[in-house]
Chains A and B, each alone.
Chain A
Amino acid sequence: MDPRRDPRGALVRPYAVTRGRTEPSRDIALEAVLTCSATQVAESRFAGHDKYRIATVCEGRAQSLAEIAAYTRMPLGVARVLVADLVADGLLTLHTAAPAEGFEERMEILGRVLSGLRRL
C-alpha cells in the first residue's frame, strides 16, 4: 500500500528527508530546468540517498523540478527543498524559467515557443 494512502500516516513523514524543513533555500519554479554533469553526480553520492537519486535523474538530460518530483515519487515541496540544497552546493545546475518581466525578453521567448509549436 502506498504510504501516502495509508490513513495511519506515512511511516517516514514526508519532510523527514529534509530534516523537517519545508521552505527551500531558494524559490524554484515548477518548470525550471536542472542539469547534472557526471562530476556533479559523482560528488552528490556523498550528499545522501535522496539527493543522489535526484542527481541521477538529471544526469545527461535536462529535467524540470516537476519531472524530478514525479520520477523520484517525492512530494513536490520535498523535492523543491532538496533541489534547492543541491543547487546551493553546486551539485545541480539551475537554468532559467521563461522571464516574467521585460517586454522584449518575453516576446522573444513567446516567438520561439510559437515557431517551435508550428514545427511540430
Chain B
Amino acid sequence: MDFAGYDPAGSRQSRGIVSAKIVVAGGFGVGKTTLVGAISEITPLTTEALMTAAGVGIDDPSKVPGKETTTVAMDFGRITMAQDLILYLFGTPGQTRFWFMWDEIIRGAVGAAVLVDTRRITDAFAPLDYFENRKLPYVVALNRFDGADLYEPDEIREALAISADVPLVMCDARDRESVKQVLVTVVEHAMIRLQAEHGRGFPAPVG
C-alpha cells in the first residue's frame, strides 16, 4: 500500500486492516494450544494478565500470604488471511475461576470451539455453560486421543446436554486439515446464527 501510514486528517484510527478472533476453550490439558499451533502461522504466543481488582473475591489474595498478584496466561495464534485481514485464535485459561479474563477474550469474537476429551467429559461443562449464557456461537469438537474410548456423537451430545442445533465435530487437534475443518464449522455456525437472529429482528451483539 502506497499510502500506508499516510494520515491526512490526523485521524489515528484506520479502517485499513481488519482482525477477527475465534476462541478455543476446554479443560486443562485437552489440547487447546496444540490445536492453535496446528494451524497458526506463528508458534503460539503467551500473553499474561495480572489479576487486578476484577479478580478480588474470586481468588482472594489475602488467603495466599506474600502473594499480591496472580498471573493468568493465555495462548494465542495468528493466521494472516490477506494483507488486510488477520484471524487470531485465542485459547482460554485452563482454570475456569478466571472468568474476568474470559470476558475479555470473547468480546467481539466470531465464535468458539469447545474442545472435549472424551475421557474427561465433565471438564467441558463450565465452558459450555459460559458460552450458552453469553450467547456466543460455539461448536463442540471431540479431540480424539490415541487409545481413548470412542463414543458415538449422539452419546456425547446427550452426555453434554447440548442442543441439536450446536454442531458437533470429531477432530485431531494435531492435524492442520482437521483443525481447519473445526474453524470452518465455527464460522459457518456463526453465520447461520447471525442470519437467524437477523431474520427474527433481534440482533444480539456478543460481549
**Interface on A for B, CB 8 Å cutoff?**
4, 7-9, 14, 22, 29-33, 35, 37, 39-40, 62, 64, 66-67, 69-71, 75-77, 87-88, 90, 92-98, 100-101, 103, 106-107, 109-114, 116-120
Contact residues in A for B188 (Cβ distance below 8 Å) = 114
Determine the main DSSP class of B at the interface with A. Answer: mixed
CA distance A94 to B16 in the complex (A): 9
Instruction: Give the shortest distance, in Å, between B14 (CB) and chain A (any CB).
Output: 5
Question: Contacts A9-B68, A35-B4, A39-B5 known; A110 to B187 CB distance under 8 Å?
Answer: yes
Whether the pair A22, B52 counts as a contact (CB closer than 8 A) is: yes
Count of chain B residues with Cβ under 8 Å from any Cβ of A? 57
Contact residues in A for B110 (Cβ distance below 8 Å) = 98, 109-110, 113
Does B108 count as interface, using CB distance less than 8 angstroms?
Answer: yes
CA distance A83 to B105 in the complex (A): 18
Does B88 count as interface, using CB distance less than 8 angstroms?
Answer: yes
Give the residue of B47, B184, B198 whose beta carbon is less than 8 angstroms from that of A117: B184
Question: Contacts A66-B88, A110-B194, A114-B188 known; A96 to B18 CB distance under 8 Å?
Answer: yes
B79-87, B115-123, B143-151 - interface stretch: B79-87
Closest B residue by C-beta to A118 = B184
Whether the pair B194, A113 counts as a contact (CB closer than 8 A) is: no
Whether the pair A70, B79 counts as a contact (CB closer than 8 A) is: no
Whether the pair B108, A29 counts as a contact (CB closer than 8 A) is: yes
Give the residue of A31, A77, A87 whose beta carbon is less than 8 angstroms from that of B20: A31
Question: Contacts A90-B7, A93-B14 known; A114 to B206 CB distance under 8 Å?
Answer: no
Contact residues in A for B107 (Cβ distance below 8 Å) = 29-30, 100
